[in-house]
Amino acid sequence: MTSPHYPDGTVRALLATDLVTEATRTALQERLDAPAYEPQFLEPAAYDLLRAVAACLFPQPDRPDAPIELAPSVDRRLAAGLSDGWRYDAMPPTAKRIAWVWGA
Q: Are 24 and 6 in contact (CB under 8 A)?
A: no
Identify the CA nearest to 100 among candidates 57, 16, 41, 60: 41
Instruction: Give 38-94 pLDDT, tens digit per residue.
Output: 999 999 999 999 999 999 999 989 888 778 888 998 898 888 887 655 666 676 665
Q: Which pLDDT belongs to residue 85?
A: 55
Q: At what angle do helices 44-57 and 71-80 cross, to 10 degrees?
A: 130
User: Which tops the pLDDT comparison, 13 or 7?
Assistant: 13
